[in-house]
Amino acid sequence: MILKRFFRMNRPGNNEMRFMGEYYCCLLRVANPMHLCCATRLRGCGRLRSSANNDMIEHRVQEHAREQSSAADFMPIGPCGDHWNNSCMHILHVITNMNSRDGGPPRALVGLAAAQHEAGLHVHVVSGLYPDAPPDLIDPLVQRGIPITHLGPVRRKSGYLHGMGRALRPLVRQADIVHIHCLWEWIQHAAASEARRCGKPYIFRPAGMLDPYSLRAGRWGKRAYLALFLRRDLNGAAAIHFTAEIERDKVSKMGLRAQTIVEPNGIELDDFRSLPAPGSFRQRYPQLGDKPIVLFLSRVHPKKGVDLLIDAFAVAETGNAVLVIAGPADAAYQQQLEQQIAQRGLTDRVLFTGMLHGLERIEAYVDADLFVLPSHQENFGIVVIEALASGVAVLISDQIDIWPSIRDHDVGRVFALQPLAIAAAIEAGLADVPWRQRTGEAARAYALKRFDWRQIAQRWAEHYQRLAGAAQT
């Protein structure tokens, strides 16, 4: 019954793509401006109705292609020229979705793919196309001329789409390495299966999804999927990519056969080299005034421990400090948090901003007195590195896998995941101004030195060459 529910497909509606055992591929190719956006019918019969999301994607791709093209002449993109030039290593990245609401995994992929493209690798990104989660992170890739292929629309939570493997096959054949991000949707299994079929080495990045905390959520379905598909996919990988030693050590108990690579995520340093002037974020939200700001900036989700942070803020001696909660939130969960805030008497001391993008996000870091992330589980935490790069002292839970680095480099403090421990850390941080200033300066220098996507991409080029060479022999 579990498997029947897991793999059952939607019945086609009047305005949906009708599959009937077939499939479609939304193809975004901007390496050649003459190949803009098309919905490519791959086999059999069916029909395609354009959607608002597809129109939006097509418009953005066409607009960029028009800017880059002249008189419809072919324009080579990137240091290797034509995308299909075999003189360069071809990397195929595969991920569930390119929507910012999915948090760290797609954001990390954007940074990695862009840096690898700059480093001279041929990069192609494939993701599912979910009608309720438009791929709003494609712009940085499109602007660099990185080809993107969307498969879908996908309407089931499992990500199942009939014929997805056949749609991936020509892309896998042209790749030297397939780098698969995340675990539990069908696109990852399809990519791994096709890589084995084509004799191509592939890498899995679990993105924290093999952490015991994550495995407990929906554990029966995950156990079945792990037994039937995922364990074989992981054991057949050329390597498993972890972003921290602790993440790797937790997964080691599963006894997987693949070798491991530990490489951190990074940040785009150009965004942080010149920081906005202090006070910009406060001007956007006049109610903040000159009050101390305790900033939470991440996806507003039960996993992130926001409820614990609210309880901690209610009991901490923080004077007139304001707790700013910034990030995308499910409406029902935010309402639950607002009720908790009212019960704790914090209505005038907590500000929800919604999701912050671009410069506004960095302005929030710069104006914050403390950055706090009380997550129950994080394999990395890009927002922590962004906060460090912005020069703000960070307070994080001991369930975030990079906590030893934060502690050992003295760029923040680590607390146990309990409201009183969080409250004590906030109190101490707000009271110690010299510590905040000293830590902020050290944090910024540490982040800019260690988490440069360009350096990380160069190391990945070496990993890819080693793995591809081993596969050939």
Kindly report, residue by residue over 103-155, the tens digit of the pLDDT.
789 999 999 999 999 999 999 999 988 877 677 788 889 999 999 998 888 87
Kindly report, residue by residue over 377-414, the tens digit of the pLDDT.
999 999 999 999 999 999 999 999 999 999 999 999 99
pTM of the model: 0.79
> What's the length of the chain?
473
Q: What percent of the chain has pLDDT above 70? A: 81
Is the backbone of residue 337 left (phi > 0), alpha (psi -120 to 50) or beta? alpha
User: Distance between CA atoms of 292 and 29, rounded to whole angstroms?
Assistant: 47
Partners of 326 in beta bridges: 297, 354
CA within 13 Å, CB half, 415:
25
Q: Return the structure tokens found at 247.
A: 């993440």
Q: Which residues contact 55 (CB under 8 A, 6 or more apart)?
A: none
Amino acid letter, residue 444: R
Q: What are the extents of the domains in the chain?
A: 14-63+86-262, 269-450
Amino acid letter, residue 136: D
User: Distance between CA atoms of 28 and 36, rounded to whole angstroms?
Assistant: 6
Q: Return the structure tokens found at 3.
A: 């498997």
Strand 370-373 and strand 394-397: pairing? parallel
- The answer to whether the CB of 254 falls within 8 A of the CB of 210 is yes
Q: What's the CATH code, domain 269-450?
A: 3.40.50.2000
Residue (of 327, 437, 360, 362) closest to 393 by Cα position: 437
Residue (of 290, 319, 296, 314) closest to 395 by Cα position: 296
User: Distance between CA atoms of 209 and 241, rounded to whole angstroms?
Assistant: 12
User: Distance between CA atoms of 282 and 290, rounded to whole angstroms?
Assistant: 8
Secondary element (H or E) of residue 19: none
For the domain made up of 14-63+86-262, the CATH class stated in words is: alpha beta
Secondary element (H or E) of residue 128: strand 122-128
Secondary element (H or E) of residue 149: strand 148-151
Whether the domain at 14-63+86-262 and the domain at 269-450 fall into the same CATH topology: yes
> Strands (DSSP E) along 20-117, which ranges?
24-28, 37-41, 90-95
pLDDT, one tens digit for every residue, the chain (473 residues): 444 433 443 333 333 332 222 223 333 333 332 222 333 323 322 222 333 444 444 444 444 444 433 322 222 223 333 333 334 899 999 999 888 777 789 999 999 999 999 999 999 999 988 877 677 788 889 999 999 998 888 877 777 778 888 899 999 999 999 999 999 999 999 999 999 999 999 999 999 999 999 999 888 899 999 999 999 999 999 999 999 999 999 999 999 999 999 999 999 888 998 999 999 999 999 999 999 999 999 999 999 999 999 999 999 999 999 999 999 998 999 999 999 999 999 999 999 999 998 899 999 999 999 999 999 999 999 999 999 999 999 999 999 999 999 999 999 999 999 999 999 999 999 999 999 999 999 999 999 999 999 999 999 999 999 999 887 77
Q: Is the dihedral of CA 250, 254, 168, 78 positive or negative?
A: positive
| Peptide bond just before 201 cis, omega within 30 deg | no
